[in-house]
Amino acid sequence: MSTYLVTGCAGFIGSRLTRNLLETGHRVIGVDALTDYYAPAAKRYNLAPLEASTSFRLVEADLSEADLGSLLEGCDGIYHLAAQPGVRGSWGDSFGVYVRDNVLATQRVFEAAVTAGRRVVYASSSSVYGNADRYPTTESTPCRPISPYGVTKRCCEELASAYADSRGLAAIGLRYFTVYGPGQRMGGGASGVLPIFAGLLGLLLLIGSLAATWLREGR
């Protein structure tokens, strides 16, 4: 049994990962600031089943200022998923939030990981590619982000390289494409389209069922 620090544990992916770690017999210290990018109530909903486990401890804290060193005591590794997501919202005045929750938070996680000698798996994004020049897109595709969000995610990757080369950080970044499933975030890219498809499918089934009833009654 190991103990992991999971940042963004109240979010869509972080809560699923935490659940999985708990179900496979591990302990989790979960950190989340419960930001209001979408309803914090949805994050509380994600947390409820996790908090039922004695192997889970929630720390409500902002990674851009929390004492990460003490959080890492007794942890075997770090899954860093916390971030301010969303491509469209990253333009304009809100960019500061992206810099804080993506770049600064990640730099602080890497710094603490190096100091504690712990490995990090962190969430990057397909947004680092921008308009990729080939599909399917592979890791060797040049990165040319076309949104401020993508730039912050690419910056996190560069930070990981700098910390790896100069300070010995062991980190792996995962460039998630659109992640979907139960509890997925609404809004942004195809993540908003999938529920619409599901809704349309439901509507078609309803129309089909009404039509079948109408046909039966006409016999």
Ligand X SMILES: NC(=O)c1ccc[n+]([C@@H]2O[C@H](COP(=O)([O-])OP(=O)(O)OC[C@H]3O[C@@H](n4cnc5c(N)ncnc54)[C@H](O)[C@@H]3O)[C@@H](O)[C@H]2O)c1
Catalytic residues: 149
Residue nearest to ligand X (CB): 11
Instruction: From residue 4, give the alpha-carbon distance in Å to each of 26, 31, 52, 135.
Output: 8, 11, 17, 35
Place of tokens 């995610």: 153
Single out the segment in contact with ligand X by CB under 6 A; choices: 18-26, 133-141, 160-168, 171-179.
171-179
Which residue type does 140 have? S
Single out the segment in contact with ligand X by CB under 6 A; choices: 19-27, 78-86, 163-171, 207-215.
78-86
Q: Which of 18, 90, 107, 125 binds ligand X (CB under 6 A)?
A: 125
**Which residues in 50-69 contact ligand X (CB under 6 A)?**
62-64
β 56-60/77-80 pair status: unpaired
37 counts as binding ligand X under rule CB under 6 A: yes
CB of 168 to ligand X, least distance (A): 23
179 counts as binding ligand X under rule CB under 6 A: yes
Q: What is residue 186's three-state secondary structure?
A: coil
Single out the segment in contact with ligand X by CB under 6 A; choices: 79-87, 140-148, 165-173, 200-208.
79-87
8 counts as binding ligand X under rule CB under 6 A: yes
35 counts as binding ligand X under rule CB under 6 A: yes
Single out the segment in contact with ligand X by CB under 6 A; choices: 71-79, 113-121, 159-167, 177-185.
177-185
82 counts as binding ligand X under rule CB under 6 A: yes
Cβ pair 109, 122 in contact under 8 A: yes
d(CA 58, CA 39): 18
Q: Which of 74, 55, 79, 87 is nearest to 5 (CA)?
A: 79
Tell me the site size for ligand X, rule CB under 6 A.
31
**For the stretch 202-217, what's the b/e string if a residue is b when 16 or more beta carbons lie within 10 angstroms of its beta carbon?**
eeeeeeeeeeeeeeee
169 counts as binding ligand X under rule CB under 6 A: no
Q: How many other C-beta atoms are found inside a 10 Å radius of the C-beta of residue 154?
A: 19
DSSP code of 24? T
Half-sphere exposure of 154 (CA within 13 A, CB side): 16
| Footprint on this chain of ligand X (rule: CB under 6 A) | 7-8, 10-14, 31-35, 37, 43, 62-64, 81-85, 101, 105, 123, 125, 176, 178-179, 185, 191
